A = this chain, B = another copy of it.
Amino acid sequence: MKVAIMGYGTIGSGVAEILEVNKEVIAKRCGEALELKYVLDLRDFEGEPIADKIVHDYQTIAQDPEVAIVVETMGGVEPAYTFVKAMLEQGKHVTTSNKALVADKGAELIEIARNHKVNFLFEASVGGGIPIIRPLLSCLTGDVIEEITGIVNGTTNYMMTKMTQEGLEFDDVLKDAQAKGYAEKDPTADIEGHDACRKIAILTSLVCGRQVDYQDIPTEGISHISATDIKYAKKLGRVIKLLATSKEQDGSYVARVAPYLLSSEHPLYNVNDVFNAIFVHGNMLGDGMFYGSGAGKLPTASAVVGDMVAIAKHIDKNIYLEWEKEKLVLADADQQINQFFVRSGASESEIENIFGNVTFVEIGLDDEIGFVTEPMRECDYHTKAEAIGNVRQMIRLGQ
């Protein structure tokens, strides 16, 4: 069976490596060997072993009837979307690691694949090497999924771990992460939560079977978290983690990406460094968690190759995926009930006058005090915060 890779960057070259290193077990599981015929890339890779497979025009792949499976690991919506669509329309199965593409065009590409009796799979788009999409779609199907909450961005989890363990400031940790190759030169997508937002949009779409637009999800990153916040967190016996979360509310889901203060009882408390983990609560299953390498060349490529094997085993069949184009209107995030940790320059009596019963947290600063509110609606919190003024920070408590 002939396959092609579009995009020979980190993940794409990882896929080629796995197809070579694990050739025998993969052939055994597929029933036949997967042979790499083309690699689409702008570069030539002259002198490298891959050079004789390189093509520059995606139509070379689309028009070759021998190619049965195409891997898309270019990233970004365009030109990935145009290329993937062409492959599906030519009756080729596609697997991708590209969360931007899936979050934006998932429902449409699934429909095109179904109409052409091929598969569009994307296990690697969320949680890197961690199996989460297929377990959700093929195992937890007796359950109503009431919550999915994940640490789904390795870069920010590495940074938050480092800030927690070493008491460093955000900028220093970012430089360290960039030096180690964990953060990109332009780190915006990771540190502002955009990456995590696309991933929770994908997971929520799969759980409800409808289109969830990532633009509808309130998203905060971690760039406003400081060493001072970490000191407060320690005083509270908690750690700060960037979570992407989706919970059933009012017959829909309420989703959010934001830093949360987690207690040691929280299942995601111990997920450190570049690891990812996704917590799931089903109405029958109860609590479950999937943990592993959420990023990196080989773990992510491992998930892509897992999709290729699944495709090879269903080569004549569309695997039914419930993800309709019809948009899900998310529940109002302003009505969600949370507990809030707040740092303010207001006086204790001002704070108690407005917020009522709070728990104060001191780390020895003269010009501010921290406090934790009772559970209240988001919109009520914002009204009260405006009333006391002088609010320097707010971080939600994880439940």
Interface positions of A (Cβ within 8 A of B): 18, 21-22, 25-26, 28-29, 31, 123, 129-131, 134-135, 138-144, 209, 267, 270, 282-293, 296, 298-299, 301-306, 308-310, 313, 317, 320, 322
Contacts and interface: CB of A to CB of B under 8 A. Distances in A.
A22 B131 contact: no
A164 B296 CA distance: 37
B267 A306 contact: no
A322 B27 CA distance: 13
B302 A293 contact: no
Contacts of A131: 131, 135, 139-140, 288
16 contacts: A22-B283, A29-B141, A131-B131, A138-B309, A139-B306, A142-B305, A143-B306, A284-B298, A284-B301, A285-B292, A285-B299, A285-B303, A288-B291, A288-B292, A291-B291, A317-B317
A304 B306 CA distance: 24
Contacts of A306: 138-143
Give the 7 A-B CB pairs with smallest separation, nearest first. A142-B305, A288-B292, A131-B139, A141-B309, A289-B291, A284-B302, A131-B135
A284 B21 contact: yes
B134 A139 contact: yes
Given A286-B129, A287-B292, A293-B286, A142 B310 contact: no
B22 A302 contact: no
B142 A309 contact: yes
Nearest to A128: B285
Contacts of A286: 129, 292-293, 296, 298-299
Nearest to A267: B291
Contacts of A18: 142, 284
Contacts of A291: 267, 288-291
A29 B284 contact: no
B134 A138 contact: yes
Contact of A141 (B138, B289, B310, B322): B310
Given A130-B288, A286-B293, A289-B292, A313 B302 contact: no
Contacts of A302: 140, 142-143, 282, 284-285
A282 B22 CA distance: 11
A288 B129 contact: yes
Given A22-B143, A141-B306, 15 more contacts: A22-B144, A26-B142, A29-B322, A129-B288, A134-B139, A139-B310, A140-B306, A282-B302, A285-B298, A285-B302, A286-B296, A287-B293, A288-B291, A289-B292, A290-B290
A139 B303 contact: yes
Contacts of A209: 28
Contacts of A320: 31, 313
Contacts of A293: 285-288
A283 B29 CA distance: 16
A109 to B, nearest CB: 20
Nearest to A292: B288
A139 B21 CA distance: 17
A296 B286 CA distance: 10
A130 B134 CA distance: 13
A268 B313 CA distance: 33
Nearest to A17: B284
Nearest to A319: B313
Given A144-B25, A291-B291, A129 B285 contact: yes
Given A270-B270, A286-B129, A302-B285, A138 B322 contact: no
Nearest to A290: B290
Contacts of A309: 138, 141-142
Contacts of A123: 139
A284 B23 CA distance: 12
Contacts of A26: 141-142
